[in-house]
Amino acid sequence: MNEELIRHWYVVQTQPHAERKASAHLMRQGFEIYLPQYLKRRRHARKIETVPAPLFPRYLFVLLDLATQPWRPIRSTVGVSQMVCRGDTPACVSPGVVEALKTREDNGGFIKLVNPVRFVRGDKIRVLDGVFSSLNGLYEEMSDAERVTVLLDLLGRKVRVVLDLDSVAAA
């Protein structure tokens, strides 16, 4: 029987913020893993950084043949909390799920997320940070993938301002 036909993807739950550590230890043991990641914008100390982040925090996938590969050692691997099971047996991921995730990866191996438009023209918004912090305004449009144009009421008149998408929220 073809080995590829009996191997399936299973889900491993990791300890908090230990996805990479668990991945490294599982690979050292010879397991094939998949840790889907995306590029996340993070604000820290007035800086905006783009950093890799797990698409499913605390979870990763492992490819196994339960009939020939011992899976119980996975549970005691450094960084692993448990395997997601149905009863006493690991729960298999539906066919095609991991493959569908892999097709959404860019050249760097990161999942490309689609930014849904969170606001409709005229929605009331609140500025979360920066010079205009705590001011209210009206959403006007997306100026590009990560910036929005907002109308703010400053000194009795409407002023058009372009802000980071992460800097605004619904009022």
- pTM for the structure as a whole: 0.68
pLDDT for 141 equals 87
- CATH (residue range 124-170): 2.30.30.30
pLDDT for 85 equals 93
Q: Where are the alpha helices (DSSP H) in the chain?
A: 3-6, 19-28, 97-103
Query: Checking phi first, is residue 106 left (phi over 0); if not, alpha (psi -120 to 50) or beta?
Result: beta
pLDDT for 1 equals 47
Cα 9 to Cα 14, 31, 40, 168, 171: the distances in Å are: 16, 11, 25, 39, 43
pLDDT for 72 equals 93
**β pairing state of 80-83 and 8-14:** antiparallel
**Domain ranges, ordered by start, for the chain:** 3-103, 124-170
Quote the DSSP letter at residue 110. P
pLDDT for 21 equals 97
pLDDT for 118 equals 77
Two structure tokens written together for 44: 């820290």
The answer to whether 50 and 40 are in contact (CB under 8 A) is yes
SS3 call for 76: helix
Write down the architecture of domain 3-103 according to CATH: 2-Layer Sandwich (3.30)
The answer to whether 38 and 9 are in contact (CB under 8 A) is no
The CA-based angle 108-114-117, given to 5 degrees, is 150
Mean pLDDT by groups of 10 residues along the chain of 171 residues: 72 97 97 93 75 93 93 95 94 93 93 76 88 88 79 85 84 81
The answer to whether 145 and 115 are in contact (CB under 8 A) is yes
